[in-house]
């Protein structure tokens, strides 16, 4: 009777989980916003071609300076007389690209650090753990800024890599805690007894179980990567060859667009960044609601 | 016995602090020198780009190289670097206000940043914990749920984005606050003058508001989650079953258990708060360290950049040490665990 009841409640739980994914309005709204932004940024080259034809979107003086929004220029033009709508699209594309690349690389670093130190333990673990903790505490962005400032000809991939080198510690720390709790589970003992090597255990036993968690960290790291990159560009660090939302903000702050009242220049990058950050945060909150049993138990959802 | 335990704890924390400080100074030193190119040349190119004019003669460059001590081999530089930073707290001459030493520039700006950052960090932390606990306790109500969703959206927005929004809204569209600066140019810089203090507070309002709003959201979210977790603990059920007064449960059981992780949270977030405030200062052209940093960046002022990097590292680590040393007051268990480990 009890077993039957338990079996029943389990399957109900699974059903609940699926319906929660479908019902979670946070997840739906977040995914909806983020996906549309990604689709728009994928369409950027096509839109640029349709609007500007063969003209270089970055060439200064193509149009008049600071034109108001019109049918020809949906968001007007900037201080160099370039179509601002296209610039915003390029900025969106590059910012998202840095976000995903940076998050990918830093997830890789975090996973590597967490598994190599958490699984083996010992002196290496102690050292890596204090490095992680110190990097978490220190304002590493300032160091990153000083480095990026002096590296010449830096492109979008180099920036993503440098950003990734600085944002991994938070994820490494929480992943390591997961590895530590998992490696004492009976099924890992069983694997050790049955003669699996460390590599096999990590890839066959631990990694599959932590995949949802790593995905969760990945989406938080997107926020981190975009935050670091935009912050650099906002105060004017990085090559002006590639447009990012941060660079657009730097331009309107330093070229007097805000004081002169050209609000159509100010709003788009700000609104887009707020949309990016809040949509990813909504996705994370939605995932948390679904996968965190503690939250459910108490709130009775 | 207790004093002995605390002494052991004290030594451990200070030792850890010294090692971290030494390692981060070393890392910064080598990172900045690994970068190819001569900082003097880069500075000269920046000046040329911005103002035109003739390039420095070789003699001038030679003189600068001498004055900046970048002629020696890297190990001599390394030793001198530590001697200068620890003995005399001397960070070398600056470019942007040559030949004013970097430490003088920093000293002028530091009080502004300390007041802005200190106040906003503490105010945000306290407000966040209070509201967060309430939101957690009343989580079934509609208002609490609404507030939670709002916080969720707001909490990840960088403070400087909010700063730009506030600047636009409250300084340009509806001009009730000054858009830039630390105090009105019509008043004199005098700490004892009420006019100056009022003007400084008036100018600091928007920067402070943008930092506080964003960090309050973060603290509310984490406090809410912690409160909900604590509400599910068995010891709370026991406390309620014992019939303890609600206020006692709130203070002795909920708040006390909240404070420890939130203090750790405060330590971990200090670095991020400093970063955020740098950019907020730059948006409002507030006369603190953050705007000095962005000025130095615009002119590639090597010594100022290095000086500010070292300063922020040191101050964040020192703030952490101070919180660390107060830790046993909030949680006496720390001392026992430290001893237990050995």
- Angstrom CA distances, A12 to A6, A19, A71, A122, stand at 10, 10, 54, 43
What is the signed CA dihedral for B326, B330, B331, B332, rounded to 10 degrees? 70
Q: In total, how many domains does chain A have?
A: 1
Q: What angle do CA A131, B296, A156 make, to 5 degrees?
A: 60
CATH code: domain of residue A139: 1.10.3720.10
Instruction: Write out the residue range of the structural domain in which residue A87 sits.
Output: 28-57+72-291
Q: Give per-residue pLDDT as tens, A193-210.
A: 888 888 888 888 888 888
- Angstrom CA distances, B208 to B122, B271, B334, stand at 12, 17, 34
Q: In this structure, what DSSP letter does residue B187 have?
A: S
Q: Does residue A36 belong to any structural domain of this protein?
A: yes
- Among the partner residues A142, A234, A295, nearest to B309 by beta-carbon distance: A142
- Among the partner residues A130, A223, A235, nearest to B294 by beta-carbon distance: A235
Round to whole Å and give the CA distance between B245 and B242. Answer: 9
Q: What angle do CA B16, B21, B24 make, to 5 degrees?
A: 120
Question: What distance lies between CA A137 and its chain's CA centroid?
Answer: 20
Residue A162's SS3 state is helix
Residue A145 to residue B272, Cβ atoms within 8 A: no
Round to whole Å and give the CA distance between B30 and A81. Answer: 43
Q: Does residue A37 belong to any structural domain of this protein?
A: yes
Residue with tokens 């650090």: A113
Q: Does residue A206 belong to any structural domain of this protein?
A: yes
Q: Does residue A7 belong to any structural domain of this protein?
A: no
B193 min Cα distance to partner chain A (Å): 31
First to last CA, chain A: 26
Q: Does residue A14 belong to any structural domain of this protein?
A: no
Q: How many CB atoms lie within 10 A of CB A286?
A: 22
CB A66 within 8 A of CB A79: yes
Q: Enter the ipTM.
A: 0.82
What stretches of chain A show up as alpha helix (H) in DSSP? Answer: 2-23, 25-42, 44-52, 84-120, 122-137, 140-150, 156-167, 169-182, 186-193, 198-200, 207-234, 245-254, 263-291, 293-299
A chain contacts of residue B316, beta-carbon cutoff 8 Å: 137-139
pLDDT-derived band of residue A22, with 50, 70 and 90 as boundaries?
low
A chain contacts of residue B27, beta-carbon cutoff 8 Å: 143
Q: What is the CA radius of gyration of chain A?
A: 24
Q: How many CB atoms lie within 10 A of CB A50?
A: 9
Residue B297 to residue A145, Cβ atoms within 8 A: yes
Residue B257 reports pLDDT greater than 80: yes
Q: Give per-residue pLDDT as tens, B131-178.
A: 999 988 888 888 887 888 888 878 888 888 999 989 888 888 888 888
CB B289 within 8 A of CB B106: yes
Helix H, strand E, coil C: the string for A126-156 is HHHHHHHHHHHHCCHHHHHHHHHHHCCCCCH
User: For A143-156, what is the mean pLDDT?
Assistant: 83
Q: Give per-residue pLDDT as tens, A242-282.
A: 888 999 998 888 887 777 778 888 889 999 999 999 899 88
Q: Does residue A200 belong to any structural domain of this protein?
A: yes
Of A77-86, A130-139, A209-218, least confident by mean pLDDT is A77-86
User: Tokens representing B110?
Assistant: 């530091």
Round to whole Å and give the CA distance between A214 and B169. Answer: 39
Q: Does residue A64 belong to any structural domain of this protein?
A: no
Residue B271 to residue A152, Cβ atoms within 8 A: no
Q: Does residue A111 belong to any structural domain of this protein?
A: yes
């Amino acid at each position: 009777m009890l077993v039957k009841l338990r079996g029943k409640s389990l399957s109900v739980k699974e059903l609940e989980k699926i319906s929660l994914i479908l019902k979670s309005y946070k997840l739906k709204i977040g995914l909806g916003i983020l996906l549309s932004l990604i689709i728009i940024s994928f369409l950027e080259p096509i839109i640029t071609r349709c609007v500007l034809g063969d003209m270089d979107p970055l060439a200064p003086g193509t149009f008049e300076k600071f034109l108001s929004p019109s049918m020809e220029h949906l968001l007007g033009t900037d201080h160099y007389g370039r179509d601002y709508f296209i610039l915003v699209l390029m900025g969106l594309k590059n910012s998202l690209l840095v976000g995903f690349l940076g998050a990918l690389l830093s997830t890789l670093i975090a996973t590597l650090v967490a598994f190599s130190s958490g699984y083996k333990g010992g002196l290496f673990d102690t050292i890596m753990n204090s490095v992680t903790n110190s990097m978490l505490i220190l304002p590493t962005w300032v160091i990153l800024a000083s480095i990026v400032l002096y590296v010449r000809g830096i492109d979008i991939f180099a920036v993503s890599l440098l950003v990734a080198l600085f944002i991994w510690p938070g994820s490494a720390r929480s992943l390591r805690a997961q590895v530590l709790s998992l490696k004492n589970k009976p099924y890992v003992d069983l694997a050790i007894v049955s003669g699996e090597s460390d590599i096999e255990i990590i890839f066959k036993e631990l990694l599959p179980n932590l995949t949802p968690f790593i995905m969760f960290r990945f989406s938080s790291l997107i926020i981190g990567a975009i935050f670091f990159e935009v912050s650099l560009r906002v105060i004017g660090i990085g090559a002006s060859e590639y447009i990012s939302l941060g660079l657009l903000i730097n331009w309107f702050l330093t070229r007097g667009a805000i004081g002169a009242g050209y609000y159509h220049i100010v709003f788009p990058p700000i609104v887009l960044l707020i949309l990016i950050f809040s949509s990813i945060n909504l996705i994370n909150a939605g995932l948390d609601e679904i996968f965190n049993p503690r939250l459910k138990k108490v709130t009775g959802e | 016995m207790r004093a002995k335990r605390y002494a052991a704890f004290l030594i451990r924390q200070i030792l850890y602090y010294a090692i971290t400080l030494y390692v981060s100074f070393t890392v910064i030193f080598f990172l900045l020198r690994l970068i190819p190119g001569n900082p003097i040349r880069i500075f000269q190119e920046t000046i040329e780009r911005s103002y035109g004019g003739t390039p420095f003669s070789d003699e001038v460059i030679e003189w600068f190289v001498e004055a900046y001590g970048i002629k020696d081999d890297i190990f001599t530089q390394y030793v001198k670097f530590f001697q200068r930073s620890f003995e005399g707290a001397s960070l070398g001459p600056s470019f942007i206000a040559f030949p004013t030493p970097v430490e003088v520039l920093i000293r002028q700006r530091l009080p502004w940043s300390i007041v802005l950052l200190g106040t906003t960090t503490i105010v945000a932390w306290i407000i966040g914990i209070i509201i967060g606990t309430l939101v957690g306790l009343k989580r079934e109500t509609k208002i609490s749920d609404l507030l939670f969703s709002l916080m969720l959206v707001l909490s990840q927005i960088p403070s400087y984005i909010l700063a730009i929004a506030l600047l636009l809204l409250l300084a340009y569209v509806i001009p009730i606050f000054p858009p830039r600066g630390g105090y009105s140019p019509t008043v004199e810089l005098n700490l004892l003058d009420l006019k100056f203090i009022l003007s400084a507070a008036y100018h600091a309002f928007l920067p402070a508001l943008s930092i506080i709003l964003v960090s309050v959201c973060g603290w509310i979210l984490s406090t809410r989650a912690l409160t909900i977790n604590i509400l599910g603990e068995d010891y709370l059920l026991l406390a309620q079953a014992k019939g303890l007064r609600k206020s006692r449960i709130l203070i002795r059981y909920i708040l006390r258990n909240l404070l420890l992780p939130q203090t750790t949270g405060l330590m971990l977030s200090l670095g991020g708060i400093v970063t955020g405030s740098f950019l907020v200062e730059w948006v409002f052209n507030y006369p603190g360290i953050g705007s000095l940093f962005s000025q130095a960046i615009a002119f590639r002022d090597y010594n100022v950049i290095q000086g500010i990097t070292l300063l922020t590292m040191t101050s964040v680590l020192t703030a952490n040490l101070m919180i660390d040393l107060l830790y046993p007051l909030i949680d006496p268990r720390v001392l026992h665990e430290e001893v237990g480990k050995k």
